[in-house]
Amino acid sequence: MIAFLLAFFLAPAPDFEARVREVITHNARPASLETAGYQTIAAKLWLKEDPAWCSRRLKEILDAGPTGDMFWMFPVTAIAYLDQGQLTAEARQALRDSWRTYMPFRGDTENHWLLYYTSMYLMAQKYPGEDGSRWFNGKSSAENFREADEWIRWWVDFTTRKGQGEYDCTHYIGVYVLPMSYLAAWAEEPAMRKRASMMLEYLMADYAAEQLDGIYVGSHARTDDRQVLEKWYGISSDLGWLLFGLGYHSPHYGSYPFYYAVASAYEPPPILKRIATQRADGVLHKELKRTRHRWRFHEARNGEVYKTTYLRDAYAVGSDQGGLLQPVQQHSWDVTWKVADPRGIHNTLFTVHPYSGMMELQAYFTFAPDPATEMVYRSKKSYDSPDKLLGGSPYEQIFQDRDTVIVLYDIAPGARFPHINGFFSKDLSMLVEDASGWIFARGGDSWIAYYPLAPYSWKPIEGGGKRLFSPYLKNGAVVQAAAASEFASLDAFRAAILALPLEVRREPVPSVRFRSLRGADLRFTYGEQRDFSSWQLFDGPHLQAGRESGMLEMRHGGERRVLDFRALTITQ
Amino acid sequence: MRWLLALALVVSAAGEGRPELHACVVNAKAWVVGARLTGSGLVKLDANREWQQLGFVHPMVLAADYDRQDPSTLYLAAGNGLIRAKDGGRSWRITTGWDVTELQDVTVDPNTPGTVYFTHTTGIRKSSDGGDTWQAADAGIAEKYCETLRADQSRAGHIVAGCVNGLHRTTDGGASWQRVGAEGLQIRRVAQSPHQPMEWLAGTQGGGLLRSVDGGATWEAASDAAVDRNLYDIAYDPTTPGRIAIGGWSTGVLVSEDNGKSWERRSQGLPRWDVWSLAFDPSQPGRLYANVHEEALYVSEDAGRSWRIAGLEGAFIYRLYFFPGGQQ
């Protein structure tokens, strides 16, 4: 029995086609068909089973009234394309009519718009030559198609020249992969199909180069309160399993990967599989991203985000430069260690300054000032909490050299929450507060040394672990990670760290001088000017792309694959 | 001059039927993108005192104005773009594309037929053909985010806009703008007196109420009322010269009977003092409507001295308007 269970749990992931079928089949067989929704209909249509039920149920749902805005548009679009003569004329007509009688909100983020315009593109393509009276927005099929086409092409061009806006999101990566999968499968224009399939590779490559056994690591434009601790718990992990057979998928496989599967199910090229699964121990990877659109308080609509991620077999260390780079859900730096089964495990360590305020919300949104925080709180419960572990701060600056991070805070007097929070996981197997001032920890097969710049106390965290609470405006930490294989014991790691020269001061501004375990003399002072002008869109052993290039070169061993979005070519 | 303008408004409204109350509304507490929504967008109170949905349910119709030549045509500043709503607001067409989003305000120049302006997240656009085509019209505004704008009802091509950094004015139909005051302040609302067309008021974010008496050319602090609050709306009473209402967050409804020289808080009966929108009924002296944040629409028959619920419970009403009635 034990042997059977071991064989079951240790079995390698099935191949790509089998994984695709597994995702779709799972969704076609819900516990109850009574309450099944669009996803089940799409799955059954893909499998070409039970069309009578699909027609009946589709009509019932549409008759009840569409809801969900752009999140309604994409499943209905998939059904329109998966129909292929299976639905009854009545159900098909109900689907068509819903695009006349229901007006979806276009939303206020790029992921909303990508869903909206991809759906408009495909539905206008499916129903060409119709006048404005047939569409909710009063525009003809031709007008809708042209507008959607223009915006999608703008987004691809902007992203491949400036970097992605909602970059490296543990959840929203699915929202970007899905529309590209739709267009790669269903766009009739060859150039759009090509553009979309190249963009799929681009998004997959972006993820493949920055994951640890499927877990998306490094800084994120958006993650959430659970995923920032339980690093595995994201759509990105579902995609990692589906695309590359990495790690673990969620019980329901994720809705966005499902729709990716029923559309193009575009299989990553072999070089991407190798980048995702065959990596050296010690890879330094840098990326240039951008902020979302900032409507107020900034001269540049999209600020630049400079990411550094260092990946080893046992752990990864990642960061951005700090500051308020994204609204509400930014995650700026952490150490993530590898574990055999990450489900339910908090395999990470990081700090934040819990910031919330109008400068953030009014920069990125059109909110009126007074109810803005409350409106954010409705869907982002931790936003205005002093205990939160998610979000960027204008008072945070970060420097990273391989597996060393120096994070500094100079919190303005009068700031709403004048302290920093450090996350110390319940899953650290060792945590020692040393008389030297260093805190030594072990997570998985990684050592972590953490030197706090200011006094602190510990507070419990609901769900386990401890929060380092440090109520000092001038604050920060020095963090050094290492592999367990480098040091045989805690004593050996401790001795190595204590031998490293370290100078810290908090006045007049926080400043650190530290020689890292890797022999680098590091100096970092809060507020110092840093030159990022040479930072490229992608700069690492596996991905290369210059600023404004509109290109991406993938590398593995002697293999090369170049995506050129201006010429719409792939060269290998 | 002042009485001519007020009279013109009343005659215009009378000729087109009794003015009807319209609301730009989100009628759901705690709404977030993607959630089910009913009775939201543009609604109006009909002759039977029932609220009618006009056009689609939409979570972000922030402002409206009507075509002076054809009052059955409305222009709506919406999340999805500028919507031209014909047939009394029922038949919609989005007249803008992907290059504008989350429109904040719209105004029709009554003295230049076919001319409409709106504000959006990155500036101001203008149409000279009733919304068929749009051009950028914000030269001279350095920081483009503008929350509000209003066309001068007495002079063609004169527009006042309230932006993220102060008040701006154009006198040439948007070809050029000059900052005319409130530097460093975000402006949330501007309003022109129907009685004295050279008099304007502006409500600010944290800077109180500002006044201009020269058609928007210069501005100064109007009073110390709500000076540290965010003011969300300003309503002149078209039937009673000198009566003005303002409202904002934590201010309740403040009413002046002496053209802004003094203010009295008139919030007895309101459940909280967080006010989004205000409108005086032009056909019923003393009747004032106010929306309290996600509570309801309230009405007073005595210029704010007492209030009762007038429907739209739970609503967040961006704007209230009286548009010419009879547009069925």
List, as one string, the DSSP characters of A424-446.
E-TT-SEEEE-TTS-EEEEETTE
Dihedral class, residue B149 (left if φ above 0, else alpha if ψ from -120 to 50, else beta): beta
For residue A159, is pLDDT > 70?
A: yes
Q: Do B98 and A151 touch (CB under 8 A)?
A: yes
In a domain, B137, yes or no: yes
| pLDDT at residue number B10 | 38
Q: Is B188 on the interface with A (CB under 8 A)?
A: yes
Q: What is the ipTM of this complex?
A: 0.94
Q: Is A68 on the interface with B (CB under 8 A)?
A: yes
Q: For A136-158, what is the mean pLDDT? A: 98
Q: Which residues contact B15 (CB under 8 A, 6 or more apart)?
A: none
B10, B296 Cβ separation under 8 angstroms: no
B38, B58 Cβ separation under 8 angstroms: no
| pLDDT at residue number A194 | 98
Which of A67-76, A414-423, B34-43, B187-196 has the weakest average pLDDT? B34-43
| pLDDT at residue number B97 | 98
Q: For B6-14, what is the mean pLDDT? A: 39
For residue A223, is pLDDT > 80?
A: yes
The residue of A38, A61, A69 whose CB has the most chain B CBs within 10 angstroms, and thus the best one to mutate to test that interface, is: A69
Q: For B84-94, what is the mean pLDDT? A: 92
Q: What is the pLDDT of residues A312-333, one digit of tens each?
A: 999 999 999 999 999 999 999 9
For residue A484, is pLDDT > 80?
A: yes
* A127-155 exposure pattern, b = at least 16 Cβ within 10 A, e = fewer: beebebebbbbbbbbebbbebbbebbeeb
In a domain, B162, yes or no: yes
pLDDT band for A379, please (50, 70, 90 cuts).
confident
| pLDDT at residue number B150 | 98
pLDDT band for A12, please (50, 70, 90 cuts).
low
| pLDDT at residue number B47 | 87
Which of A184-198, A357-371, A498-512 has the weakest average pLDDT? A357-371
Instruction: Say whether B131 sits in a helix, a strand or coil.
Output: coil
Which of A173-182, A445-454, B23-32 has the weakest average pLDDT? B23-32
Q: Which residue has the higher pLDDT, A376 or B95?
A: B95
| pLDDT at residue number B12 | 42
* The token pair that represents B15 in the structure block: 């000729």
Q: Do B33 and A117 touch (CB under 8 A)?
A: no
The residue of B75, B83, B100, B101 whose CB has the most chain A CBs within 10 angstroms, and thus the best one to mutate to test that interface, is: B101
* The token pair that represents A233 in the structure block: 């718990």
For residue A44, is pLDDT > 80?
A: yes
pLDDT band for A371, please (50, 70, 90 cuts).
confident
CATH number of the domain that residue B42 is part of: 2.130.10.10
In a domain, B55, yes or no: yes
CA distance B75 to B95: 10
Which of A201-210, A312-321, A457-466, B319-328 has the weakest average pLDDT? B319-328
Which residues sit opposite B278 in a β-bridge? Answer: B290
Which residue from B minimizes the CA distance to A144?
B97
CA distance A544 to A554: 7
A137: which chain B residues are within 8 Å (Cβ-Cβ)?
80, 92-94
Domain containing B141 equals 2-323
A23, A261 Cβ separation under 8 angstroms: yes
Q: What is the pLDDT of residues B113-152, one digit of tens each?
A: 999 999 999 999 999 999 999 999 999 999 999 999 999 9
**E strands present in A282-354:** 283-290, 304-311, 315-319, 333-337, 348-352
| pLDDT at residue number A281 | 97
Q: For B180-207, what is the mean pLDDT? A: 97
CA distance A454 to A472: 7
| pLDDT at residue number B14 | 37
pLDDT band for A378, please (50, 70, 90 cuts).
confident
Dihedral sign for Cα atoms in the order A484, A487, A492, A493: negative
Select from B56, B121, B143 the Cβ nearest to the Cβ of A103.
B56
How far B6 CA sits from the closest chain A CA (Å)?
Answer: 31
A329, A223 Cβ separation under 8 angstroms: yes
Q: What is the pLDDT of residues B294-314, one digit of tens each?
A: 999 999 999 999 999 999 999
In a domain, B285, yes or no: yes
pLDDT band for A520, please (50, 70, 90 cuts).
very high
pLDDT band for A130, please (50, 70, 90 cuts).
very high
Helices and strands, number each (H, E), in chain B: 1, 28
Q: What is the pLDDT of residues A225-250, one digit of tens each?
A: 999 999 999 999 999 999 999 999 99
Antiparallel, parallel or unpaired: β B166-170 and B159-163: antiparallel
Q: Is A269 on the interface with B (CB under 8 A)?
A: no
| pLDDT at residue number B32 | 65
> Residues A553, A121, B64, CA angle at the centre, nearest 5°?
120
> Residues B282, B288, B293, CA angle at the centre, nearest 5°?
130
The residue of B53, B90, B118, B121 whose CB has the most chain A CBs within 10 angstroms, and thus the best one to mutate to test that interface, is: B121
Q: Do A103 and B32 touch (CB under 8 A)?
A: no
DSSP state of A13: P
Q: How far apart are the first and last CA of chain A?
A: 48
For residue A2, is pLDDT > 80?
A: no
pLDDT band for A137, please (50, 70, 90 cuts).
very high
Q: Is B34 on the interface with A (CB under 8 A)?
A: yes
- Split into its structural domains, chain B has a count of 1
Could you give the angle at which helices A38-47 and A70-82 cross, rounded to 10 degrees? 20
For residue A544, is pLDDT > 50?
A: yes
Which of A245-254, A357-366, B54-63 has the weakest average pLDDT? A357-366
Q: What is the pLDDT of residues A99-121, one digit of tens each?
A: 999 999 999 999 999 999 999 99
In a domain, B328, yes or no: no
Give the length of chain B: 328
Q: Do A105 and B59 touch (CB under 8 A)?
A: yes
CA distance A43 to A29: 9
A69: which chain B residues are within 8 Å (Cβ-Cβ)?
33-34, 59
Instruction: Provide the greatest CA pair distance for chain B.
Output: 49
In a domain, B310, yes or no: yes
Q: Is A142 on the interface with B (CB under 8 A)?
A: no
For residue B287, is pLDDT > 60?
A: yes
